[in-house]
Amino acid sequence: MHRLTSHSKSSLFLMEMIICLLFFALTCSVCIRLFSVSYVNRHKARDLNHMQEYLTTCAELLESWDGSLEDYAALLEHTGVSPHIHSSAGKDLWTTTPNTSYLGTISLYFNKNWQFSVPDSAGYTLNISVYRFSKEKSARISFWKGIHDFAADETMGTGDADPRLLLYQTMVRYPASLSKGGTAS
């Protein structure tokens, strides 16, 4: 009888150790999951911060701009970037309003660390489509992951643009400044 009791104690100890190991493994898997989610969220927050910074810069330059697409690109060059200008090659499908002039698209390329780069090594693309309405100026600003073809951006829905690569998009509008004669320029 004594032997049976000691065998019972060792099996209970073994079962207790197995339960402790399972609990430890479960806790480790939850911790690893939390760290991986925080890593992904940190990178998303970094990307959103950079997008907000460049969106604000582009919007402020649009507000002070009053001219051609090349003039807007020249304003961007003063911030230290080398913009790539794509002139308008036909009607822009985003605009169906009368008295609207699609001037073209300016593309800026960034590497994976959000430093300006050449298109071949781009991790992110910023496309700025510039418009002139009769009494306002506007720009559709879109951020894409990787190298993005501006023509696919302009024909979203009919082009080859993958909507999963679109990180952020917004439309910015400002009233057009009045010339000396009192008409919108």
pTM > 0.85: yes or no: no
Range of the domain at 103: 42-175
Strand order through the sheet with 124-132:
84-87, 101-110, 124-132, 136-145, 166-175
Q: Is there a domain that residue 146 lies in?
A: yes
Number of CB atoms found within 10 A of residue 72's CB: 25
What's the pLDDT at 32?
A: 96
Whether the per-residue pLDDT at 183 is higher than 50: the answer is no
- Residue 67 is which amino acid? G
**Domain membership flag for residue 25:** no
Flag whether 183 is in a domain. Answer: no
Q: Determine, yes or no, domain membership for 181.
A: no
Place of tokens 């699609």: 102
Tens digit of pLDDT for each residue in 91-142? 444 454 556 677 888 888 888 888 888 888 888 989 888 888 778 888 889 9
- 21 within some domain: no
Please check whether residue 180 lies inside any domain of the structure. no
Angle at 13 between CA 7 and CA 14, to 5 degrees: 90
Token match 């009888």: residue? Answer: 1
Q: Is residue 6 part of a domain?
A: no
Q: Tens of pLDDT along 2-57?
A: 555 555 678 888 999 999 999 999 999 999 999 999 999 999 999 999 999 999 98
With cut-offs at 50, 70 and 90, classify the pLDDT of residue 163: low
Beta bridge partners of 178: 184
Is 63's pLDDT higher than 80?
A: yes
**CA atoms within 13 A of residue 118's CA, in its CB half-sphere:** 1
How many separate domains does the chain show? 1
- Residue 15 covered by a domain: no
